[in-house]
Amino acid sequence: MTAFIDRTVLHLAAGSGGNGCASVHREKFKPLGGPDGGDGGDGGDIVLVVDPQISTLLDFHHRPHAKADNGKPGAGDDRDGAAGKDLVLRVPDGTVVLDADGEVIADLIGAGTRAVVAHGGIGGRGNAGLAGPRRKAPGFALLGVPGEALDVTLELKSVADVALVGFPSAGKSSLISVVSAARPKVADYPFTTLRPHLGVVDSVAGAFTMADVPGLIPGASSGRGLGLEFLRHIERCSVLVHVLDCATLEPGRDPLSDLDTLERELEQYGGLEDKPRLVVLNKVDVADARELADLVTPDLEARGLRVFAVSTLTREGLRPLVTALGVEVEQLRLARPPLDRERIVLRPREVGRQEFAVRQITDGDYSGAYEVTGTKPERWVAQTDFSNDEAVGFLADRLAKLGVEAALGKRGALEGATVVIGDRVFDWAPTLGEAAGIPGPRGSDDRIGDRVRLSREERMARDAERVSGSSLTAAELTAYEAAIAGGATAPAGLDEHELDEIEG
C-alpha cells in the first residue's frame, strides 16, 4: 500500500547565474577590434505547480533535495550564455509552503496554481555590456549571482466540501465507502484510517467531495493520537458532519458526550467555529443503537443541528443525508463572492528611497566595523572579481555613485576603517571611488595607485612655471598640450629645442 505523507521538508537550491566574459574582438588587420564578451545566462527558478493527479507528498519525503540548472557563462563574439532551465515540482492541491520561521510563502489551491519558491541568480554582464565613454575596452566582466538556497516545509491540507468528524471506529470510513467510489480501509479497531480519503458524491443538487480523515480523541488539539493530522485536513472543508456511534460499548460514552468532546477539540484548535454542522447517528441497524438514536435526537435538534439516523450496513437514511449535504454545499457555493482576477499593480519606485543601510557592528568578530546592507551593494560585491584591479575600481565607482561612501563618512568612518558588505571585508579608502581619471591598461586601474589629482590652482601654478621656464607663450603651451592629447607629434611653429624645454 502506498504510504501517505502530508508534511515534509524540502532543501531547495535555485540555479546560479553564469559569469560574464571578458573578451576583445580580434581578426586580421584588426588586432584590437573592441570588447565582445557576452553576458552570462540567468539561473533557473524552482517552481511549485498544483497537479490534481498527485495526492501525497511521498515523492518529496524520499527525495528532499532539489536543485535547478545554473546559467551558462558568456563567450566571445557577443555570445550570451544560455539561461538555466527552471525546475518544476508538482504538488497536491491544498499544499501550503512555509519558510524556516513558519511564515506562509505560498498557499496553492486549484489545478495549475504555481508559485516561484526559489529564484535563480542573474547572470553577470560581459565586458561588451560594460563598455562606455570612460571604459572603451574593460578588462573585466561581472560574475554571476548565486541562486537562492533555502529550506521550506510543505504541508498538505485536503480540499473538500464535506469533512467527516468523529471518534475512531465511529463508521466514517464505512460511510464514505457506500456514498462514493472511495475505498478506505474498514476494520473493527481504532485508528484504522491513517490517511485522508477523498470521495466524489453525486446528489440531486450536484456533485461534491467528501473527506474521511483520521479519528479524533480527547486532547487531539494538543497533539494526542492523530489529532493534528486530522484537524489540519478539515480546515478547508465547507461543511462538517459529526459521525456519532450509537452502538459503542465503551463506558462513559454516548452520542451527546461524544459531540461535546468533538466540539471542544474543534474550538481549541480554532478557526472552525463558523462552519455549518450536521449530525449523523450511525449504526442504527443495531436494536439498542436505534433506541439510543431516537432518545438523543430531540436534544440534538434543540441545539439547532440537523440529525440523520443512518446505517451503512443496510443503507438506511443515506439518501436523505446525501441530498441534504448536496443542497447545503450548493448554497454555500452560491453565497461565495465571485473570485476576482488577480490584477497587476504597477508601483513606481519611491522618490528618495534609500537603497542601502549603514550600521556599526557592536559585537562579534567585527565589533566596531561598519556593515553596509542592501540588495544592490550586496549583489555588486557578489559580482566582483577581486583578483582584477579594474573590476575593484568599477565596484568602488558604483558604491560611491550610490552614496555608500558619503553615508560611511556621516556615520563617522575614517580612512582604514573596516567595512563589511555581504561576505566581504574591506579596509575603507574614501578617495578610491571619488578619484577621477581614465582607467589604465586592461586588467588594471590607475586609481588604485598613488596618483593624486591636482586642483585648479595647482594646475595654474604648474602651467605658469612651465611658461616662465621656456620661450613659449601660455597660448602656445596650451596648443601644444591639446595637440599631444589628440595624438599629434607637435603643434606647428615649434622647433626641437623648444620641445625639449617643455618635455624636460
Domains of the chain: residue spans and CATH: 1-156 (2.70.210.12), 162-335 (3.40.50.300), 358-448 (3.30.300.350), 456-503 (no CATH)
Over residues 376-401, the mean pLDDT reads 90
Task: Give the other-Cβ count within 10 Å of 60's Cβ.
Answer: 18
Greater model confidence, 277 or 212: 277
Residue 235 predicted with pLDDT over 70: yes
User: Residue 208's pLDDT is what?
Assistant: 84
The sign of the torsion formed by the CA atoms of 376, 379, 381, 386 equals: negative
User: Residue 157's pLDDT is what?
Assistant: 77
Nearest to 80 by CA among 71, 69, 90, 70: 71
Instruction: In whole angstroms, give the CA distance from residue 256 to residue 340.
Output: 42
Task: Please report, to the nearest 10 degrees, the dihedral formed by the alpha carbons of residues 69, 72, 73, 76 taken in order.
Answer: 180
Top-confidence range, 211-215, 217-221, 276-280: 276-280
**Strand boundaries in 300-447, DSSP class E:** 306-309, 357-360, 370-373, 418-421, 424-427
What is the number of alpha carbons within 13 Å of residue 309 lying toward its C-beta? 18
Over residues 195-200, the mean pLDDT reads 70
Residue 53 predicted with pLDDT over 70: yes
Over residues 361-388, the mean pLDDT reads 89
Nearest to 121 by CA among 147, 149, 82, 86: 147
Residue 50 predicted with pLDDT over 80: yes
Top-confidence range, 12-16, 28-32, 95-99: 12-16
Instruction: In whole angstroms, give the CA distance from residue 161 to residue 98.
Output: 24
Residue 230 parent element (H or E) = helix 227-232
H-state helical runs in 2-106: 58-62
Over residues 125-132, the mean pLDDT reads 91
Tens digits of per-residue pLDDT, 69-92? 999 999 999 999 999 999 999 998
Greater model confidence, 46 or 223: 46
